[in-house]
Structure 1
Amino acid sequence: MESRSEVTQLLCQLKDGQDEVYEKLYPLIYEELRKLAYSHMRRQSPDHTLSKTELVHEAYLKMIDQSKINFNDRGHFLAIASRCMRQILIDYARKKTAKKRGGQKKDLTYIDELFKAQNQKTQELLDIDAALNRLEKLNSRLSKVVEMRFFGEMTIQETANALEVSESTVKRDWMKARGWLYKELKARFEVE
């Protein structure tokens, strides 16, 4: 518990512009970032070339590279870290399917089914990202709830604290967002 209050104190120092605090913060938050990375990576195909450790480092570097992010507390910091991890994985998926790299066309020297399964997982991630971007335009908070609950595996309470709303609001938002995403993704798959 002491490290949680220390994390909050360090985040307050960051708000005051003390950038050297990142070096003290990283060891305290590292294990939680690894748990976030694990939850993100377990949804990826088994042969994904980005490791959990690399995802943690990429996300952390992306966060400290921002000019001014105001972290309210530990939960808010983890929510932003989760979003960064999601963006990194989406960028990775986009690059993997980019037309300039041959897109989804693969040599037939490998087992076709393996590639088919891998491409489906990559496409699912891109579809979810596109749906979340549409949801964000309609209702930003619903999109944030999905990021925190689904990608960040944050609890209702942690999500409520990070968004500064009540737990019952998060529960309602979570139900609305899941329903909206279900309809959106179901319609996408029925078209194909």
Structure 2
Amino acid sequence: MDALEETRSQVTALLTRNDLNDKDKHDQLLSLIYVELRRMAQHKMSQERPDHTLTPTALVHEAYLRLVNQPDLSWQSRRHFFAAVAESMRRILIESARSKASLKRGANAPHSHLIELTPNPGQDEDILALDRALTTLEQQDTLMSDVVKLRYFSGLTIDQVAMALDTSPRTINRLWTQARAFLIRHMQ
């Protein structure tokens, strides 16, 4: 068994054992997956606006803390965990976009006619539109939705998504094509 396969086995064992309430197990899991989580976050943050206040490190830590601080953690597999991480990163970025959009509209601040607020260029509206479309897609086809989350929000390749979802790259490529068409149609 090579080193990568050994690491995957350790991660799967830690996740499915359901004993992450033990600090040592929690720390061991984080040390095994941190590099992969950071790579996912860096990929996602490279697609965000340049003046984004979140850093990849902050995104990793926030997503990880949200997941492991939930009561009664129960991961069915490594795939299940990484899909949850991708979803958590997505939600964090959407919350950030909503917050920024709220600030653009005043966010309950007193209005003054002397101050003209001009929005900063960015992708916040696009992220919110994507979230709405992805929510609709998730209700219709969860596998296709998972493909989008892993490709777009986690930055995985077709082959990596296929491995994570235990299906063929050809199927993932087909689902990715269909999902993009669906999202584009629903975002317009």
* Fold-level similarity (TM above 0.5): yes
RMSD: 2.4
Does the CA-based 8 Å contact 1:59-1:84 persist in structure 2?
A: yes
Stretches of structure 1 lacking an aligned partner (at least 5 in a row)? none
Aligned residues: 176
Superposed CA deviations along residues 145-189 of structure 1, whole A, max 9, x for unmatched, are 11111111223333233333333322221111111112222xx2x
Superposed CA deviations along residues 11-45 of structure 1, whole A, max 9, x for unmatched, are 2323xx45222221001111111111111111221
Deviates more, 1:80-89 or 1:150-159: 150-159
* Alignment partners' CA distance in 2, 1:18 and 1:30: 15
Which residue identity lines up with residue 72 of structure 1 in the other structure? S
Aligned: 1:32 with 2:33: no
* Alignment partners' CA distance in 2, 1:182 and 1:57: 31
Which residue identity lines up with residue 77 of structure 1 in the other structure? F
Which residue identity lines up with residue 75 of structure 2 in the other structure? N
Alignment of 1:148-167 (within 5 A): 148-167=150-169
Q: Could you tell me which of 85, 89, 93 is aligned with 1:85?
A: 89
Task: Give how far 1:9 is off.
Answer: 2.2
* Alignment partners' CA distance in 2, 1:163 and 1:4: 14
Stretches of structure 2 lacking an aligned partner (at least 5 in a row)? none
Q: Could you tell me which of 131, 140, 143 is aligned with 2:142?
A: 140
Instruction: State TM-score, norm by structure 1.
Output: 0.80
Identify the residue that residue 77 of structure 2 maps to in structure 1: 72
Label 1:163 to 1:30 Cα distance change in 2 as closer, same or farther (>3 A). same
Q: Could you tell me which of 107, 112, 127 is aligned with 1:101?
A: 107
Instruction: State TM-score, norm by structure 2.
Output: 0.82
* Alignment partners' CA distance in 1, 2:145 and 2:106: 31
- Percent of aligned pairs sharing the same letter: 37
Alignment of 1:163-182 (within 5 A): 163-182=165-184
TM superposition outliers: structure 1 runs of 4+ over 6 Å: none
Which residue identity lines up with residue 32 of structure 1 in the other structure? E
